[in-house]
Structure 1
Amino acid sequence: MTAGANGTEASHAAAAADADAEREHVEQLARAHAALAAAQDRSYWLDRWGIDLNELMRKPAGARVRVAMRVARRGKRAAIEVKRHLAREAREAQEEIAGAADLPADDPLERTVRPAAPATAPVTDALFDRLGDDGAAAIDAALSDAERTALLDAPEPQRRRLLLGYGVERRVAAVLDRTGLSALEPPPDGPAEPPDAPAVAASASRADLVADALEGSGGEIAAGMRGLDIGCGTGEVLRLLAAAHAETAWQGCDPNAEAVEWAAASLPGIDFAVSGLRPPLPYADETLDFAYALSLWTHCAAAAAVDWLADVRRAVRPGGRLVLAAHGYQTIAHDHAHGVRTAEQLGEIRDALYASGHWFKGEFGRQGDDGIDEASWGTAFLAPEWLLSHAPGWRVDRFWPGRAEGGRDVYVLERR
């Protein structure tokens, strides 16, 4: 065989090896995105004031997801050896999550009740429908080949949420102009997170949860109505709802003055206010059509929880609704499956719910929680019967166990 033929064969072999490496890279990134999506749905997106996320992410599965996120974003710049490591770690993270979900049936902290996802994604659908084919194409053009391939395997509506997130993150003009969302750039030491695709997708998921709960209970979000986000933080969820329903008068309150100040300066069209650590809310009687709180009753001592139920009732008009999330029995099973708390502590919580319906512990210490330093503020779990017996003037209209992230229960109360 001639030297030229040998060179041609070597060239073909090298090209084939490069093609195989590229295919392997795309497949690995797709698996990494799938692992990341699973972690977001099941363990990563714990509520902002709930379980210590840093502690969770120090655990093996959390560390692997963090590596997957960091490496996946580097795309083709990552070396082949790092990509192989990513694929292996992402696969092991998926196996760990799957294994945790298959605990023995006789495990005293396991439940056979399986949470049902929201039936609809009203906010995501409303915003995505505004893009049109050309807007969707503009997002697609801003994606890398690996991101585009990974999104093919993303389930709906998570795929649309991530596409919206990429559109915001990459500042795609069609997304910013047609949805009303903005690519906010908070200062490095500020209270808000950068608007990357997973963060926007997580906020859209929570906004969908609220809208689906209201509409699924016979309520609505309509023009001229006044809606309140209790514990709004920097407006992560509120800005998605306001973008989808611009004709609604949106309010947001939070005791963290720094977060409220940033939100008020960054999100025009929404009325923000600093609320107290205890009731009353800064709103007149019967002036709200609906309210929602995804991180209030997850943190209140029993007496404070009752006080907040009474004060929100004062501010909501008769027939208005309150959507709230709370830790409950399903959260115990979730935290056990994902190693968030010890079996001993979860057994203590379960026994307290069985005995009295409520469990509370001040877990934040002297440093407080995002500006909240209050004896009645910590981590709380409650049973459905506790809420039924401590919410006079409210009618429990809907109850979905474990529907919110972190296995939190979702309730819709109607004001009598």
Structure 2
Amino acid sequence: MGDLDRALASIQKSYEDFNDILEWGCGCGRILRHLPVPALPRKLYGNEIDAEAIEWISSNMPWIETSLTKGKPPLPYPDGSFDLIFNHSVMSHLDEEYQDAWLAELARVLRPGGVVTLTVHGQHAFDQFSGGIPADSPVRKQVTDVYYGRGLFYTKDDDWGADFPDFYHSAFHSVRYIFDHWSKFLRVRQYIPRGALDYQDMVVLEKL
């Protein structure tokens, strides 16, 4: 909750400014459980691809309206349903095709003037990852060439192994990539290095 508060404060907003709030990729309510039980007109929503996690939220936090989706859009909401959407650590694991699909979908369900906060593996996380590869390995050069050349490096060769689908492993973003590419979907208002748990970077976006 503190990271979300700081992200919103960076654009002179606060949680209290929003009424229709969605945690996209909510898991078992890792952030939702820290938010106060809403009083009308505020409503909280949670969306997830894990049926077991959604069932737990529905049973234990009945004031949250939940929905279950697949790995790709759509979300089961009309255009312009929300004025705040937040998430921790989904874009940091999706490949570019899935990222673009979800950026377009989040823009669709966000109303004009609405805000989205997303986290990514940025420079700090990339340095940790690449630093684990021997300096004299050709793999390290290949990895850094892609990251600094394209601005986005995605790999299935990570600790997640076969437990996750091919589209959900490890993605690393440069600041340049976020501003050049994500701005095709939403306006980038702030980029906060290590703004999420002092590890992932926080991106604050707005729909014009």
Which has the larger strand fraction? 2
- Equivalent of residue 62 in structure 2, options 260, 264, 268: 268
Cα distance in 2 between the residues matched to 1:315 and 1:242? 23
Counterpart for residue 403 of structure 1: 195
Q: Conserved in 2, the CA contact under 8 Å of 1:335 and 1:406?
A: no
**1:246 deviation in Å?**
4.6
Counterpart for residue 58 of structure 1: none
**CA 265–347 in structure 1, closer or farther in 2 if over 3 Å, else same:** farther
**CA 223–292 in structure 1, closer or farther in 2 if over 3 Å, else same:** closer
Higher RCO (CA-CA < 8 Å; seq separation 6+) = 2
Could you tell me which runs of 5 or more consecutive residues in structure 2 were left unpaired when the two chains were aligned.
Answer: none
Cα distance in 2 between the residues matched to 1:212 and 1:365? 34
Question: Which structure: larger Rg?
Answer: 1
**CA 281–263 in structure 1, closer or farther in 2 if over 3 Å, else same:** same
Cα distance in 2 between the residues matched to 1:309 and 1:346? 30
Cα distance in 2 between the residues matched to 1:406 and 1:346? 25
**CA 258–351 in structure 1, closer or farther in 2 if over 3 Å, else same:** same
Cα distance in 1 between the residues matched to 2:118 and 2:84? 11
Which has the larger helix fraction? 1
Taking only aligned residues, the RMSD between alpha carbons, in angstroms, comes to: 2.2
Amino acid across the alignment from 1:387: I
Counterpart for residue 36 of structure 2: 242
Q: Conserved in 2, the CA contact under 8 Å of 1:260 and 1:273?
A: yes
Cα distance in 1 between the residues matched to 2:87 and 2:198? 15
Q: TM-score of the superposition, structure 1-length normalised?
A: 0.45
**1:330 deviation in Å?**
1.6
Is 1:415 the equivalent of 2:207?
A: yes
Superposition pairs of residues 8-407 of structure 1, within 5 angstroms: 207-222=1-16, 225-243=19-37, 246-247=39-40, 248-335=42-129, 341-343=132-134, 348-362=142-156, 363=158, 364-368=160-164, 373=165, 375-391=166-182, 392-405=184-197, 407=199
Could you tell me which runs of 5 or more consecutive residues in structure 1 were left unpaired when the two chains were aligned.
Answer: 1-206
Q: Secondary structure at the match of 2:117?
A: strand
**1:289 deviation in Å?**
0.4
**CA 295–397 in structure 1, closer or farther in 2 if over 3 Å, else same:** same
**1:347 deviation in Å?**
5.4
- String of CA shifts for 1:98-141, please: whole Å, max 9, x gaps: xxxxxxxxxxxxxxxxxxxxxxxxxxxxxxxxxxxxxxxxxxxx
- String of CA shifts for 1:53-84, please: whole Å, max 9, x gaps: xxxxxxxxxxxxxxxxxxxxxxxxxxxxxxxx
Number of equivalences: 201
Cα distance in 2 between the residues matched to 1:221 and 1:406? 21
